[in-house]
A and B are shown apart, each in its own frame.
Chain A
Amino acid sequence: MNQKRHMGLKALNRASNTAIYILLIIISVVWLIPFVFILLQSFRVESTYQVGYVIPHQWGWQNYINLWNSDFKRWYLNTFIIALASAVLVTVIQLCMSYTLSRFRFKLRGPLMRFMLILGMFPGMLTMIILYRVLSDLGLTQANAVPGLILVGVASSGMGYYVSKGFFDTIPKSLDEAARVDGATRFQVLYKIILPLSKPIVIYTILTAFMGPWGDYVFARYVAMGTSAGYNVAVGMYSWLTNDQIARMYTTFCAGGVIVAVPVTILFLCLQKYYVEGVTGGAVKG
């Protein structure tokens, strides 16, 4: 009897596992298929607009050659510079901020955190108008959009301290205290004890700071104000999908998408471990 029930459970378990495998396979397909489509369509030569099939009738590199001959190179370089600069500067600023707010208890800490919480409730888009005017007074718009975007992106990045603060909160404070008793200054505690333990969050912050600018659209468009030399990839490639361009540029867009996505994805997959650690360690606790 008991044996039979056991067998029944086992069969049930096997059935549910099979169902899960089927679901997981469906999910994987649904999640990956748009990217496979982009890849396939980037090699389509016979037509440049949207068609009702996926596998090209005629394969070729024409779209990538078009890409090379367009302004795409400039946009790519712009985005790469912005991404690199933010990877360095944003990381420094965010880690300073989150480390301080996690580790130190000073008089203004509470009010400061509450203040930034309230500040974060204002839609950031609202400030675009004035930031644009200020940047244009400084001559950092249109063709010179890159330094302007870096400046604004880096300056306000301190607000995004939550994830890394969550991580620092998990490092036991007794480590700091022991070192302080031994006569280390606060700076030495940070440099010699905390930083070596924080490799995951440092890499997480660098990675997210580097990846952010690749998708930055609104403000980048605002600052470039229609000057192609100041576009980043998102703004530039968006212009290819407007109604008057899409028929000519659709497959070129796909090729551009591949060129943008492949390096970022490879980098991401290499550092995936740290990203996962950062998200699960810091993001939730906030």
Chain B
Amino acid sequence: MKQYSDLEYLRLSKGQKFTYKLTSFFTAIPRGIGHFFANIGLYIKKGVTGVGSELKDIGSTFVNGDWKTKTSFVVMGFGNLARGQILRGLLFLFFEVVFIAYMIFGGAHWMSMVPSLGKVGPSNEYDPVLDIYTTVYNDNSFKILLYGVLTIFFIVAFIYTWRVNVRQNKIMEQILRSGKKLKADKDDLRSMVDENFHATLLALPMTGILVFTVMPIVFMILVAFTNYDGSHNGYSNNLFTWVGLDNFNTLFSWTGGAGGGQSYSATFGEILAWTLIWAFLATFTNYFLGMFVAMMINKKGIHLKKVWRTVLVMTIAIPQFISLLYVSKMFARNGLINLSLMDLGWIKQPLPFWEDATWARVTVVLINIWIGIPHLMLITTGILMNIPADLYESARIDGANAWQQYRKITLPYMLFITGPYLLTSFTGNMNNFNVIYLLTGGAPTNPAASGAAGSVGYTDLLITWLFKITTGADSQYYLASVVGIMVFVVVAFISLVVYNVLPSIKNEEDYQ
């Protein structure tokens, strides 16, 4: 496609401008995907050459190093200890001792079990003393996988630390050779609140993220390749084991599910479509209506600005589960709205807010507007006030009406500033568990999807479906993690495309 310069672009007619924008958006998508794969290739190349040069450096350190350095290859921290850096040396040594002890007293055992995820399941064995049969629990697939992941993390950490240990020896030799003095322990401690302060600050948060977010995610990705479910819980009934890509095949197969309903892939497709529609509607209705409310309150000549704002802001404070649950019951078949409308004689039958697919979907979006507008009002108020007033002034002098001012000044400015926010709020809405689950619980049930795990409904998002799968009768954890991986793929794809199109994300430093 032809790329226009700014000047050429301005000369285009309105229609041409529109088609240009549209085509450039869509041509950006394959470009974004291309970038993505090119980047992956680049990373791999960088990784391979990186490992090569690291190995070379390690080798030359060993060959050129003195006996202290050479000993450090086996006894970590020896070089530091021998050269007077007691604190660092002890830390290295301590880590090595802990690592070796862990590997001997468990790590190696768990690692050796990972390929099979356990061989001997629970069995009934005769107890001659008590004269009864008792269940003996043997291998535990869950623990094997969990500790397997932990051990892999530990090994990676050990290799990294060992590498740091080797590099430090090299650096120490260089410093000593040039006749300078090494850092004392005192300086090391001081650097923790000075040049290495960032490491001190990040230590605790990153440990938490590593243990309670990264490890579980790695674990759950691995579960997608096993048959871990309620009847293979890996411990008290059956062991679970690796099944390769079988679960992905199940999700993408076109044959009908077990209950005689439609196939998993049809169900998945339907839910994905609704998830995307929902995320789009939820994001943009909130965005434009919230902006509209903020503009009304901001308008010159409107009094009591603070009161209007406080009324809306107050609704943010009330925990969502109260408002969502209450409103959900308000719209129920025998809820306040239906009952009072019937008492008034306006309707004969209760309105099917939660019983009809279309009604339920529309109601969910409307209630979400009620939930979301106060947030958007707050966010947009600040930005709206930042738009330079002279822009509007000169537009007025040129005779622009309110709508033109909005179209040409307010909206472009807002979209530019809030671009990243719109993206996160879109992906956030895709995973908006609370609103859907507390309002409808996914209802009304979709009878065609009865074969799929969990009772799938017309308002179910992928994320609520995932929850239903894990808590459903069969607890098909493996399927849940396949769905979770798919959610990731979709979110990552959308983010990637948008990142390559949006101008305001690209350069973080420009904004500071």
Contacts and interface: CB of A to CB of B under 8 A. Distances in A.
A196 interface: no
Interface in B407-433: 417-418, 420-421, 424, 427, 431, 433
A31 B319 contact: no
A34 B319 contact: no
A215 B319 contact: yes
Contact of B322 (A24, A38, A190): A38
A156 B321 contact: no
Contacts of A238: 321, 325, 438
Contact of A286 (B193, B202, B223, B424): B424
B194 A185 contact: yes
Interface in A88-106: 93-94, 96-97, 99-100, 104, 106
A284 B418 contact: yes
Interface in A143-179: 151-152, 154-159, 162, 169-170, 173
Interface string A20-58: 110110011011101101100000000000111110000
A272 interface: yes
A28 B308 CA distance: 7
Chain A interface mostly helix, strand, loop or mixed? helix
Contact of B194 (A119, A154, A187): A187
A279 interface: yes
B322 A261 contact: yes
Given A126-B466, A133-B142, A280-B379, A159 B336 contact: no
Contact of B316 (A162, A190, A217, A268): A268
Contact of A158 (B206, B336, B379): B206
Given A116-B209, A118-B492, A280-B379, A260 B319 contact: yes
Given A20-B299, A97-B202, A155-B211, A215 B321 contact: yes
B137 interface: no
Chain B interface mostly helix, strand, loop or mixed? helix
B387 interface: no
Contacts, number: 261
B146 interface: yes
A211 B319 contact: yes
Given A121-B488, A169-B511, A269 B314 contact: yes
Interface in A8-27: 13, 17, 20-21, 23-24, 27
Q: How large is the interface on A (under 10, 10 to 19, 20 to 34, 35 or more residues)?
A: 35 or more
Interface string A248-286: 001001100100110011011100100110011101111
B374 interface: yes
Contacts of A133: 142, 146
Interface in B372-396: 373-375, 378-379, 381-383
B205 A93 contact: yes
A234 interface: yes
Given A122-B484, A254-B326, A17 B302 contact: yes
A122 B482 CA distance: 11
B194 A23 contact: no
A32 B311 contact: yes
Contacts of B249: none
Contacts of A264: 317-319
A234 B321 contact: yes
A245 to B, nearest CB: 12
A136 to B, nearest CB: 11
Contact of A93 (B204, B299, B312, B321): B204
A30 B313 CA distance: 14
A280 B209 contact: no
B495 interface: yes
Interface string B464-479: 0011001100000100
Interface in B189-203: 190, 193-195, 197-199, 201-202
A123 B463 contact: yes
A131 interface: yes
Contact of A23 (B296, B417, B434): B296
**Listed residue (A54, A106, A130) with the most chain B CB atoms within 10 angstroms of its CB:** A130
Contacts of A17: 299, 301-302
A275 B309 CA distance: 13
A52 B339 CA distance: 4
A199 B232 CA distance: 52
A125 interface: yes
Q: Which 5 A-B pairs have the closest CB atoms?
A: A280-B382, A52-B339, A158-B205, A268-B317, A155-B208
Interface of A: 13, 17, 20-21, 23-24, 27-28, 30-32, 34-35, 37-38, 50-54, 93-94, 96-97, 99-100, 104, 106, 112, 116, 118-119, 121-131, 133-134, 151-152, 154-159, 162, 169-170, 173, 185-187, 190, 211, 214-215, 217-218, 222, 233-234, 237-238, 241, 246, 250, 253-254, 257, 260-261, 264-265, 267-269, 272, 275-276, 279-281, 283-286
23 contacts: A28-B308, A50-B329, A50-B334, A50-B335, A93-B205, A94-B205, A97-B201, A106-B198, A124-B213, A124-B431, A127-B212, A129-B223, A155-B208, A156-B209, A215-B320, A215-B434, A217-B438, A222-B471, A233-B319, A237-B321, A237-B322, A253-B326, A276-B313
Interface of B: 142, 146, 190, 193-195, 197-199, 201-202, 204-206, 208-209, 211-214, 216-217, 219-220, 223, 293, 296-297, 299, 301-302, 308, 310-323, 325-327, 329-330, 332, 334-336, 338-340, 342-343, 370, 373-375, 378-379, 381-383, 417-418, 420-421, 424, 427, 431, 433-434, 437-438, 462-463, 466-467, 470-471, 477, 480-481, 484, 487-488, 491-492, 495, 511-512
Given A284-B417, A284-B418, 12 more contacts: A27-B308, A32-B315, A97-B201, A131-B216, A151-B212, A157-B205, A211-B319, A215-B319, A238-B321, A238-B438, A268-B313, A268-B314
